[in-house]
Structure 1
Amino acid sequence: MLDPSIKPKTVQRYLLPGEKCLVAVRRHWSVLSRPLSTAFGVAALAIAMALYFPEEHAVVHLALWPAVIAAALWGTWHFLVWRHDYLFVTDRRVMVTTGVLTRRVLMVSLAKVTELKFQRSLTGRILGHGTLILESDVTEDALKDVEYVPWPDTIYVRMCDLLFEAEE
Protein backbone atom coordinates (compact mmCIF):
# COMPACT_ATOMS: atom_id res chain seq x y z
CA MET A 1 0.00 0.00 0.00
CA LEU A 2 1.93 2.94 -1.30
CA ASP A 3 0.32 6.36 -1.16
CA PRO A 4 0.53 7.75 -4.73
CA SER A 5 1.03 11.30 -3.40
CA ILE A 6 4.38 10.29 -1.86
CA LYS A 7 7.26 10.70 -4.29
CA PRO A 8 9.37 7.57 -4.89
CA LYS A 9 12.49 9.64 -4.13
CA THR A 10 11.14 10.30 -0.62
CA VAL A 11 10.78 6.57 0.01
CA GLN A 12 14.11 5.57 -1.55
CA ARG A 13 16.01 7.99 0.68
CA TYR A 14 15.39 5.76 3.72
CA LEU A 15 15.76 2.29 2.20
CA LEU A 16 18.76 0.02 2.64
CA PRO A 17 20.17 -1.83 -0.38
CA GLY A 18 17.86 -4.70 -1.26
CA GLU A 19 15.08 -3.49 1.03
CA LYS A 20 11.50 -3.25 -0.31
CA CYS A 21 9.01 -0.69 0.92
CA LEU A 22 5.59 -2.30 1.33
CA VAL A 23 3.69 0.50 3.09
CA ALA A 24 4.30 4.22 2.65
CA VAL A 25 1.60 6.54 3.99
CA ARG A 26 1.16 9.94 5.54
CA ARG A 27 -0.68 10.32 8.80
CA HIS A 28 -4.42 10.68 8.38
CA TRP A 29 -5.65 14.13 7.39
CA SER A 30 -7.74 14.34 10.57
CA VAL A 31 -4.55 15.11 12.50
CA LEU A 32 -5.04 18.60 11.03
CA SER A 33 -8.61 19.07 12.23
CA ARG A 34 -7.80 20.74 15.57
CA PRO A 35 -5.01 23.09 14.48
CA LEU A 36 -6.76 24.17 11.28
CA SER A 37 -10.13 24.67 12.95
CA THR A 38 -8.41 26.72 15.67
CA ALA A 39 -6.60 28.81 13.05
CA PHE A 40 -9.84 29.39 11.12
CA GLY A 41 -11.67 30.19 14.36
CA VAL A 42 -9.11 32.80 15.40
CA ALA A 43 -9.17 34.34 11.92
CA ALA A 44 -12.99 34.40 11.86
CA LEU A 45 -13.12 35.95 15.33
CA ALA A 46 -10.62 38.64 14.30
CA ILE A 47 -12.61 39.41 11.15
CA ALA A 48 -15.85 39.58 13.16
CA MET A 49 -14.21 41.98 15.62
CA ALA A 50 -12.95 44.10 12.73
CA LEU A 51 -16.49 44.33 11.37
CA TYR A 52 -17.96 45.04 14.81
CA PHE A 53 -15.62 47.88 15.72
CA PRO A 54 -15.88 51.01 13.56
CA GLU A 55 -12.89 52.35 11.67
CA GLU A 56 -12.25 54.96 14.39
CA HIS A 57 -10.85 52.21 16.63
CA ALA A 58 -7.59 51.99 14.71
CA VAL A 59 -5.79 50.35 17.64
CA VAL A 60 -8.23 47.43 17.59
CA HIS A 61 -7.87 47.04 13.82
CA LEU A 62 -4.07 47.18 14.02
CA ALA A 63 -4.07 44.57 16.80
CA LEU A 64 -6.24 42.17 14.81
CA TRP A 65 -3.90 41.81 11.82
CA PRO A 66 -1.10 40.14 13.81
CA ALA A 67 -3.67 37.70 15.22
CA VAL A 68 -4.88 36.79 11.73
CA ILE A 69 -1.32 36.45 10.43
CA ALA A 70 -0.26 34.36 13.44
CA ALA A 71 -3.28 32.06 13.00
CA ALA A 72 -2.51 31.64 9.29
CA LEU A 73 1.15 30.87 9.99
CA TRP A 74 0.25 28.43 12.75
CA GLY A 75 -2.20 26.55 10.48
CA THR A 76 0.33 26.53 7.63
CA TRP A 77 3.03 25.17 9.94
CA HIS A 78 0.82 22.28 11.04
CA PHE A 79 -0.02 21.53 7.40
CA LEU A 80 3.69 21.44 6.50
CA VAL A 81 4.43 19.14 9.43
CA TRP A 82 1.66 16.80 8.24
CA ARG A 83 3.01 16.84 4.67
CA HIS A 84 6.44 15.72 5.92
CA ASP A 85 5.37 12.99 8.38
CA TYR A 86 5.47 9.48 6.95
CA LEU A 87 5.03 5.89 8.06
CA PHE A 88 7.14 3.37 6.12
CA VAL A 89 6.94 -0.38 6.56
CA THR A 90 9.56 -2.37 4.70
CA ASP A 91 10.28 -6.06 4.59
CA ARG A 92 12.81 -5.48 7.43
CA ARG A 93 11.66 -2.57 9.60
CA VAL A 94 9.08 0.05 10.53
CA MET A 95 9.99 3.74 10.28
CA VAL A 96 8.27 6.98 11.16
CA THR A 97 9.84 10.15 9.78
CA THR A 98 8.88 13.57 11.13
CA GLY A 99 10.01 17.15 10.92
CA VAL A 100 10.15 20.00 8.46
CA LEU A 101 13.31 21.86 9.38
CA THR A 102 14.96 19.04 11.33
CA ARG A 103 14.25 15.50 10.17
CA ARG A 104 13.79 12.78 12.75
CA VAL A 105 13.58 9.10 11.86
CA LEU A 106 12.31 6.58 14.40
CA MET A 107 12.87 2.97 13.45
CA VAL A 108 12.33 -0.51 14.86
CA SER A 109 13.38 -3.75 13.24
CA LEU A 110 10.56 -6.16 12.48
CA ALA A 111 12.66 -8.87 14.11
CA LYS A 112 12.52 -6.92 17.40
CA VAL A 113 8.73 -6.47 17.38
CA THR A 114 7.24 -8.90 19.89
CA GLU A 115 3.65 -7.70 19.79
CA LEU A 116 1.60 -5.63 17.38
CA LYS A 117 -1.79 -4.14 18.22
CA PHE A 118 -4.01 -1.44 16.88
CA GLN A 119 -6.84 0.52 18.39
CA ARG A 120 -9.48 2.78 16.94
CA SER A 121 -11.54 5.32 18.81
CA LEU A 122 -15.09 6.06 17.73
CA THR A 123 -13.83 9.14 15.89
CA GLY A 124 -11.10 7.04 14.28
CA ARG A 125 -13.65 4.47 13.14
CA ILE A 126 -15.81 7.18 11.60
CA LEU A 127 -12.94 9.04 9.91
CA GLY A 128 -10.81 6.00 9.03
CA HIS A 129 -7.71 6.21 11.23
CA GLY A 130 -6.25 4.37 14.19
CA THR A 131 -3.19 3.86 16.38
CA LEU A 132 -0.63 1.12 15.80
CA ILE A 133 1.00 -0.10 18.99
CA LEU A 134 4.38 -1.80 18.56
CA GLU A 135 5.92 -3.58 21.51
CA SER A 136 9.49 -4.82 21.32
CA ASP A 137 12.32 -6.31 23.35
CA VAL A 138 14.17 -3.01 23.20
CA THR A 139 14.08 -1.23 26.55
CA GLU A 140 13.67 2.23 25.03
CA ASP A 141 10.39 2.39 23.13
CA ALA A 142 11.16 5.23 20.74
CA LEU A 143 8.55 3.93 18.33
CA LYS A 144 5.70 2.53 20.42
CA ASP A 145 2.47 4.30 19.47
CA VAL A 146 1.99 5.50 15.91
CA GLU A 147 -1.14 7.63 15.90
CA TYR A 148 -3.41 8.76 13.07
CA VAL A 149 -2.52 5.86 10.79
CA PRO A 150 -4.84 5.71 7.76
CA TRP A 151 -6.32 2.29 6.89
CA PRO A 152 -5.10 0.76 10.18
CA ASP A 153 -6.88 -2.56 9.53
CA THR A 154 -5.10 -3.09 6.21
CA ILE A 155 -1.71 -1.95 7.51
CA TYR A 156 -2.10 -4.10 10.64
CA VAL A 157 -2.85 -7.22 8.58
CA ARG A 158 0.09 -6.49 6.23
CA MET A 159 2.45 -6.03 9.18
CA CYS A 160 1.19 -9.23 10.84
CA ASP A 161 1.87 -11.04 7.59
CA LEU A 162 5.44 -9.69 7.61
CA LEU A 163 5.94 -10.63 11.28
CA PHE A 164 4.77 -14.19 10.75
CA GLU A 165 6.93 -14.50 7.61
CA ALA A 166 9.93 -13.47 9.70
CA GLU A 167 9.23 -16.20 12.28
CA GLU A 168 9.24 -18.99 9.67
Structure 2
Amino acid sequence: MLDPGIAKHLLRDEGEVIVDEVRKHWVAYVRPVGEGLLGLALLLATPFVPVAVGWLPLVLGGLVGLHAAWLGVREHRDRFVVTNMRVFRVHGVLATHLATMPLSRILDITVSRPLHGRLLGFGHFVFESAAQDQGLREIRHVGRPDQRDLAIQRVVQRAGLRGPRVW
Protein backbone atom coordinates (compact mmCIF):
# COMPACT_ATOMS: atom_id res chain seq x y z
CA MET A 1 0.00 0.00 0.00
CA LEU A 2 2.85 2.42 0.76
CA ASP A 3 5.03 1.55 -2.25
CA PRO A 4 3.97 3.32 -5.48
CA GLY A 5 5.42 0.50 -7.62
CA ILE A 6 7.82 2.43 -9.82
CA ALA A 7 9.40 -0.68 -11.39
CA LYS A 8 6.18 -1.82 -13.05
CA HIS A 9 6.06 1.41 -15.09
CA LEU A 10 9.51 0.95 -16.64
CA LEU A 11 10.02 -0.22 -20.21
CA ARG A 12 12.61 -2.85 -19.28
CA ASP A 13 12.54 -4.56 -22.68
CA GLU A 14 13.43 -1.20 -24.29
CA GLY A 15 16.41 -0.73 -21.97
CA GLU A 16 14.87 1.93 -19.73
CA VAL A 17 16.69 2.42 -16.43
CA ILE A 18 16.09 4.75 -13.50
CA VAL A 19 18.52 7.65 -13.29
CA ASP A 20 16.90 9.33 -10.25
CA GLU A 21 13.84 8.62 -8.12
CA VAL A 22 12.79 11.77 -6.29
CA ARG A 23 10.89 11.46 -3.05
CA LYS A 24 9.36 14.46 -1.31
CA HIS A 25 11.62 16.61 0.85
CA TRP A 26 10.97 16.28 4.59
CA VAL A 27 9.30 19.68 4.67
CA ALA A 28 6.32 18.16 2.79
CA TYR A 29 5.61 16.09 5.91
CA VAL A 30 5.34 19.06 8.30
CA ARG A 31 1.57 19.39 7.88
CA PRO A 32 0.82 15.66 8.35
CA VAL A 33 3.02 15.54 11.46
CA GLY A 34 1.40 18.69 12.84
CA GLU A 35 -2.08 17.29 12.29
CA GLY A 36 -1.00 13.98 13.85
CA LEU A 37 0.20 15.80 16.96
CA LEU A 38 -3.07 17.73 17.14
CA GLY A 39 -5.02 14.47 16.89
CA LEU A 40 -2.89 12.95 19.64
CA ALA A 41 -3.44 16.01 21.85
CA LEU A 42 -7.20 15.70 21.36
CA LEU A 43 -7.07 12.02 22.29
CA LEU A 44 -5.02 12.79 25.38
CA ALA A 45 -7.49 15.52 26.38
CA THR A 46 -10.35 13.00 26.67
CA PRO A 47 -9.93 12.31 30.42
CA PHE A 48 -10.03 16.04 31.19
CA VAL A 49 -13.44 16.82 29.70
CA PRO A 50 -16.83 16.15 31.32
CA VAL A 51 -18.16 12.62 30.86
CA ALA A 52 -21.20 13.84 28.93
CA VAL A 53 -19.00 15.15 26.08
CA GLY A 54 -16.04 12.80 26.55
CA TRP A 55 -16.74 11.23 23.17
CA LEU A 56 -16.17 14.51 21.34
CA PRO A 57 -12.35 14.82 21.71
CA LEU A 58 -12.08 11.07 21.12
CA VAL A 59 -13.92 11.27 17.80
CA LEU A 60 -12.24 14.52 16.74
CA GLY A 61 -8.80 13.18 17.66
CA GLY A 62 -9.42 10.01 15.68
CA LEU A 63 -10.65 11.90 12.62
CA VAL A 64 -7.75 14.37 12.70
CA GLY A 65 -5.31 11.46 13.15
CA LEU A 66 -6.79 9.60 10.18
CA HIS A 67 -6.55 12.72 8.03
CA ALA A 68 -2.92 13.17 9.07
CA ALA A 69 -2.17 9.57 8.13
CA TRP A 70 -3.86 10.08 4.75
CA LEU A 71 -1.74 13.19 4.07
CA GLY A 72 1.43 11.36 5.07
CA VAL A 73 0.71 8.39 2.79
CA ARG A 74 -0.22 10.76 -0.06
CA GLU A 75 3.14 12.56 0.21
CA HIS A 76 5.06 9.29 0.55
CA ARG A 77 3.50 7.77 -2.59
CA ASP A 78 4.17 10.87 -4.72
CA ARG A 79 7.30 10.07 -6.72
CA PHE A 80 9.02 11.82 -9.59
CA VAL A 81 11.25 9.55 -11.66
CA VAL A 82 13.93 10.41 -14.21
CA THR A 83 14.94 7.62 -16.58
CA ASN A 84 17.23 7.48 -19.57
CA MET A 85 14.15 7.84 -21.84
CA ARG A 86 11.57 9.99 -20.04
CA VAL A 87 10.44 11.64 -16.83
CA PHE A 88 7.30 10.57 -15.05
CA ARG A 89 5.35 11.15 -11.87
CA VAL A 90 3.36 8.52 -9.99
CA HIS A 91 1.01 9.69 -7.24
CA GLY A 92 -2.24 8.83 -5.52
CA VAL A 93 -3.34 6.76 -2.55
CA LEU A 94 -6.32 4.66 -3.58
CA ALA A 95 -6.11 5.36 -7.31
CA THR A 96 -2.70 5.70 -8.93
CA HIS A 97 -2.08 8.49 -11.43
CA LEU A 98 0.79 8.37 -13.91
CA ALA A 99 1.98 11.36 -15.95
CA THR A 100 4.80 10.82 -18.45
CA MET A 101 6.87 13.11 -20.65
CA PRO A 102 9.54 11.87 -23.08
CA LEU A 103 12.88 13.64 -22.75
CA SER A 104 12.52 14.94 -26.31
CA ARG A 105 9.45 16.99 -25.34
CA ILE A 106 11.10 18.85 -22.47
CA LEU A 107 11.72 22.37 -23.72
CA ASP A 108 12.48 24.12 -20.47
CA ILE A 109 12.83 23.34 -16.78
CA THR A 110 12.34 26.14 -14.29
CA VAL A 111 13.69 25.59 -10.79
CA SER A 112 11.87 27.73 -8.25
CA ARG A 113 13.51 28.10 -4.84
CA PRO A 114 11.57 30.29 -2.41
CA LEU A 115 13.45 31.76 0.54
CA HIS A 116 12.37 29.06 2.98
CA GLY A 117 13.21 26.47 0.30
CA ARG A 118 16.71 27.87 -0.04
CA LEU A 119 17.16 27.75 3.72
CA LEU A 120 15.80 24.20 4.07
CA GLY A 121 17.25 22.74 0.85
CA PHE A 122 14.25 22.21 -1.42
CA GLY A 123 12.65 23.72 -4.49
CA HIS A 124 10.00 23.17 -7.12
CA PHE A 125 10.33 22.11 -10.78
CA VAL A 126 8.14 23.54 -13.51
CA PHE A 127 8.34 21.70 -16.84
CA GLU A 128 7.52 23.45 -20.10
CA SER A 129 6.77 21.44 -23.20
CA ALA A 130 5.17 22.01 -26.60
CA ALA A 131 1.88 20.64 -25.29
CA GLN A 132 -0.57 23.20 -23.91
CA ASP A 133 -2.12 20.94 -21.29
CA GLN A 134 0.05 18.33 -19.67
CA GLY A 135 -0.15 16.03 -16.69
CA LEU A 136 3.44 16.67 -15.67
CA ARG A 137 3.90 20.38 -15.09
CA GLU A 138 4.86 21.17 -11.52
CA ILE A 139 6.80 18.95 -9.12
CA ARG A 140 6.82 20.42 -5.62
CA HIS A 141 9.16 19.92 -2.65
CA VAL A 142 12.15 18.49 -4.51
CA GLY A 143 15.25 18.05 -2.36
CA ARG A 144 18.56 19.24 -3.84
CA PRO A 145 16.81 20.79 -6.88
CA ASP A 146 19.93 22.24 -8.49
CA GLN A 147 21.73 18.88 -8.55
CA ARG A 148 18.60 17.15 -9.84
CA ASP A 149 18.18 19.74 -12.58
CA LEU A 150 21.77 19.11 -13.69
CA ALA A 151 21.09 15.35 -13.67
CA ILE A 152 18.09 15.82 -15.97
CA GLN A 153 20.12 18.07 -18.26
CA ARG A 154 22.87 15.41 -18.42
CA VAL A 155 20.36 12.70 -19.34
CA VAL A 156 18.88 14.89 -22.08
CA GLN A 157 22.37 15.68 -23.41
CA ARG A 158 23.48 12.02 -23.35
CA ALA A 159 20.32 10.99 -25.17
CA GLY A 160 21.47 13.24 -28.01
CA LEU A 161 18.34 15.38 -27.88
CA ARG A 162 20.25 18.64 -27.73
CA GLY A 163 22.95 19.57 -30.16
CA PRO A 164 26.54 20.04 -28.98
CA ARG A 165 27.38 23.41 -27.55
CA VAL A 166 29.12 25.75 -29.93
CA TRP A 167 30.94 28.67 -28.35
**TM-score band (shorter)?**
0.7 to 0.9
What pairs up with 1:104-143 in 2 under 5 angstroms?
104-143=97-136
AA of the residue aligned to 1:13:
K
Measure the CA separation in 2 of the matches of 1:60 and 1:127. 42
Name the residue aligned to 1:62.
55
Q: Select 2:7's aligned residue among 4, 12, 17.
A: 12
Asked whether the 8 Å contact 1:46–1:64 carries over to 2, the reply is yes
The answer on 1:27 being equivalent to 2:24 is: yes
5+ residue gaps, structure 1, are: 1-5
Conservation of the 8 A alpha-carbon contact between 1:50 and 1:64: no
Opposite residue 98 of structure 1, the aligned amino acid is: H
What's the C-alpha RMSD, in Å, of the aligned pairs?
2.1
The number of aligned residues is 158
Q: Identity percentage over the alignment? A: 24
Q: 1:95, CA displacement in angstroms? A: 0.6
Q: Which residue of 1 aligns with 2:33?
A: 36
Structure 2 gaps, min length 5 = none
**What is the rounded CA distance, in whole Å, between the counterparts of 2:35 and 2:66 in structure 1?**
12
Determine the C-alpha separation between the residues in 2 that align with 1:92 and 1:79: 30
Cα distance in 2 for partners of 1:38, 1:28 equals 18
Alignment-derived partner of residue 95 in structure 1: 88
Going from structure 1 to structure 2, the CA distance change for 1:66 and 1:49 (only over 3 Å counts) comes to closer
Q: State the partner residue of 1:3.
A: none
Q: TM-score, normalised by structure 2?
A: 0.84
